[in-house]
Amino acid sequence: MTRWRQLAALAVAAGSIAAAPQIVPNRATYEVSLAHAVPGGVIGARGRTVIEVSDTCDGWRTVERFLLDTSDGDGQVSRSDFVITAWEDKTGQAMHFEVTDMSDGTIDERNKGRAELAADGGTVTLTAPVASSFALPAGTVFPMAQTLEILHAAEAGKTGLSGPVFQGGDATSLYYSTATIGKLVGLADPGREAPDGAADLLSGVAAWPVVMGYYPTGKDGLSPDYEVATRLYANGIAGTMTLIYSDFTLTAKLTKLERLPPPKC
């Protein structure tokens, strides 16, 4: 499964707990560029991702599209085009998803299905590309619930947490994730984002530096598939992100925020 889905995983959070931060429906745009690469690999990367979070009263709907062009030393350019649409209920127990991953205009993978969680684990039922199912271990959370857990841990002064997270897709979309949480960022900190559009969505909002590591399940002791470093705001919005892979590092700069209308429940 593609490695671009982590943007959405950190950019949204559910509001199912009474004392949870208030999540504001929004559309965030990030400009993506190459920050570092190992010799002999990618020499250039540029793209954009747009993440939209909508409140459906009983859940949260997210739509993310990630478009990235990479070039190598021979001048060859490759385009990755990743789209995920997902819905999670506010209890954190159910998720519907549709994922399409394309390279240079060709579909590499398409998954559609639903996932349900219980106290002893969960089940993912795929309807595409073929009907199939697989189990999720006890303690698994979905991306929104994971972000909510991080926010509650940060507010409680904790420095980290870990556990399995299912991001939507096939069995390779199940990761063991770790989160390292830094100290609260001051409201006057010069590093706080000020994107175009509805920058007031971040003004006066508490934020913490967070580093997430995503490890493939069943492969204990290995390095993470990727890591994400960002400033996570109490309303669930992720600031500029550093996306760290074994062969290159990307910067996803938050450049624009738009406020979406609240639901009519």
β strands within 38-93, DSSP E? 44-55, 59-71, 77-89
Residue 222 maps to a domain: yes
C-alpha closest to that of 123 among 225, 131, 114: 114
The tens-digit pLDDT sequence of the chain (265 residues) is 445 555 545 544 333 333 345 778 999 999 999 999 888 888 899 999 999 999 999 999 999 999 999 998 888 899 999 999 999 999 999 999 999 999 999 999 999 999 999 999 999 999 999 999 999 999 999 998 898 899 999 999 999 999 999 999 999 999 999 999 999 998 888 878 889 998 889 988 999 999 999 998 866 667 899 999 999 999 989 999 999 998 999 999 999 999 999 888 8
250 alpha carbon, distance to own chain's centre:
15
pLDDT of residue 16: 32
- Note the helical H segments in the chain: 6-11, 143-155
pLDDT of residue 219: 63
Q: Is the peptide bond before 137 cis (omega within 30 degrees of 0)?
A: no
pLDDT of residue 13: 37
Residue 100 maps to a domain: yes
Residue 264 maps to a domain: no
CA distance between the termini of the chain:
35
| Confidence (pTM) | 0.89
pLDDT of residue 21: 55
Number of folded domains that form the chain: 1
pLDDT of residue 85: 96
Residue 1 maps to a domain: no
C-alpha closest to that of 194 among 136, 233, 246: 233
The neighbour count for residue 178, using CB atoms within 10 Å, is 16
Q: Could you list the residue range(s) of the whole structural domain that residue 169 is in?
A: 6-259
pLDDT of residue 17: 32
- HSE of 134 in the Cβ direction (CA atoms, 13 Å)? 12
* 3-state DSSP assignment of residue 93: coil
Residue 113 maps to a domain: yes
pLDDT of residue 222: 79
